[in-house]
Each structure stands twice: as structure tokens, then as C-alpha cells.
Amino acid sequence: MAISDTPHSRQAERRFIKASIRAPLLSREREFELATRWRDQEDEAALHELVIAYTRLVISTASRFRNYGLSMSDLIQEGVIGLLQAAGRFEPERGVRFSTYASWWIRSAMQDYILRNWSIVRTGTTAAQKSLFFNLRRLRAKIDSGNIGPLDLESKQRIAKELGVKIGEVETMEGRMSGADQSLNATIGETGEDQWQDFIADTRPLPEKIVFDRQNGKTRHEWIDEALQELSARERTIISERRLREETVTLEALGKELGISKERVRQIEHRALEKLRLSIGKQVEHPSDLLFED
């Protein structure tokens, strides 16, 4: 839950930061002892001392992410969670300092929080998108610091190459980060009554067309079904296998099934189609509209 940005919360934040900075650093031996006591004995006093000593890492990391529009208090809160996760997974006998190990967990916790809360639209759902989100501004300033407009093609290519992503992904993320969220219910202009959602085109077919197409399809199906009843059993089999299936059966395969040559199948199919055209012609002006032509 986000912490409210009030004078009281800001004062508490300042006290927390000052206390964290004043906390003494740990020697390698003391760090090893505390981490071992927490892992093997679940000594909460050891965990508390270990976490307090490295909360300064949380504050330092939070200061690097404060330009994403989220409060420092919330970032610190998420960073402390990452610090606790690091303490629970740390293996002191590997010889790595806890500060080095915890830095990754702190940064990861903050980045996940930023991605969840930076926009109401989900951002950074893939590794490539996450890398772009947190590196695009830095690389843009490095490559083309004087440009405040859209990136040119060369700049996009350089960023895509450095981060190992596609140019299209760079373009998409650039667009996402160039503007803030806006409600579709917001009015256009200060005194206007029209809302943004009033100008979103609905590309779906109109209800009248849906009903017409459904009824029209039903009628056509009835016409074809009536015409098929005028064919012989063998003609219906050939038409069904050759014209009414997604995967048509070959003339040769049908010939083997019916015990006739593929040329004879072709002749019967041609004759059956003529019968269908005559029958459907009594119902519709252009029978070919309902039949699949070669």
C-alpha cells in the first residue's frame, strides 16, 4: 500500500533516512556472524542489525529511481522488502559481501514496483521491454542529448543494437514513455463537453449488419442443402469432399474410394455442379456466388 505524501510522512521519511545513514557499517566478520545466526538460528536481533546496517543501500538505490514519478517513501518501502528477501537467501559461506548480494534484490524489488505503478497500462511484461524501460532515457541522453523530439532511425538502431532488441520495440516504448496516462472520460478543452472516448471509432460491424449476415447465411445454407438433395448419393459425396470441406480430397483419392478413375470423378463433379447451379438459379440471380469456382 502506498504511503500518503503528507507533512507527517515526509518528516518520518527524513528521520528514517538520517537514522539509516548513522547506522555503523559492518565488518566482513560481523556480517558473516549475523547472517549465519539468522539463517541457522532465526535470530531476529541478528536480522535487525544486518538490515539496519544496509538500509543505506535502499536509500541510495531509491534516489536513482525517483524520476519515475513515484514517492521516495514507497520506493524505500519496496527496497526494504528486497533487502529482507536478500537476507533470507544469503549464503555467507560463499565469500560474497552481503551488500553486493543485496543490491540486486533491492534494485529488482524497486523496478518491479515501478513497472506495476508507473502507468495503469501494464508495462515491461518481457525482459526486453523491462530493459528498454529502464535504459531508454539514459541511452537517449547519451546518443542524442540535444534532441527533444522523436528519435531518428539511426538513434533507434543504435539503442536496439546496444540492448539487443528490435527497432519496433524501441519505437513502441518511446511512444509509451512520451506521454502520461489520460482518462477517456476527460473532456476536450477546458470548456468542452465532448470526451475523448466520443471520438474512438468502433470498427465492429453494426448490429443490423450482423443480423442481416446471419439471416442471409442461414438462407444460403438452406438453398444449398435443398439443391444437394437433388443429387445422387455419389454426386453428393464428391461435392461434399471436394467443395464443402476445408481440406479438399484429391480426385485420385476419391476415385480409389469410389472405385472409379480420377477422370470419372472429375466428370461427375462437373455434372453435379451444373445441377446445383440450375437448382440454386431458381432462388438467386447469380448461383456462382454460393459455389466455389475452380
Q: What is the pLDDT of residue 2?
A: 44
Number of neighbouring beta carbons within 10 Å of residue 148: 6
Is the pTM higher than 0.75?
no
What angle in degrees, to the nearest 10, is found between the helix axes of 72-89 and 44-53?
Answer: 130
What grid cell was written down for 17?
A: 533516512
CA distance 63 to 9: 17
Fold of 207-290: Arc Repressor Mutant, subunit A (1.10.10)
- Do 23 and 51 meet the contact criterion of CB atoms below 8 Å apart? no
Q: Which amino acid is at 142?
A: K
Spell out the per-residue pLDDT of the chain, length 294, in tens: 444 566 776 777 778 788 787 888 888 899 899 999 998 998 999 999 998 998 989 999 998 888 777 888 889 999 999 999 999 899 888 888 998 999 999 999 998 888 888 765 566 566 777 777 777 777 777 776 556 667 778 888 888 888 888 887 777 777 666 655 566 666 776 666 777 677 777 778 777 777 777 777 777 778 778 888 888 888 888 888 888 777 888 889 888 988 999 899 899 999 988 888 888 777 666 555 555 455
Angle, vertex CA 79, rays to CA 74 and CA 85, nearest 5: 135
Q: What is the pLDDT of residue 155?
A: 81
> Which sequence spans correspond to the domains of the chain?
8-118, 123-177, 207-290
Q: Which amino acid is at 177?
A: M
**Hey, what CATH class is 8-118 in?**
mainly alpha
Q: What is the pLDDT of residue 66?
A: 81
- Do 69 and 6 meet the contact criterion of CB atoms below 8 Å apart? no
Q: What is the pLDDT of residue 13?
A: 74
Strand partners, 195: 187
CA distance 109 to 47: 19
User: Coil, strand, or helix at residue 286?
Assistant: coil
Report long-range pairs for 143-150 (Cβ below 8 Å, ≥24 apart): 150/174, 150/178
Phi-psi region of 202 (alpha: psi -120 to 50; beta: other; left: phi over 0): beta
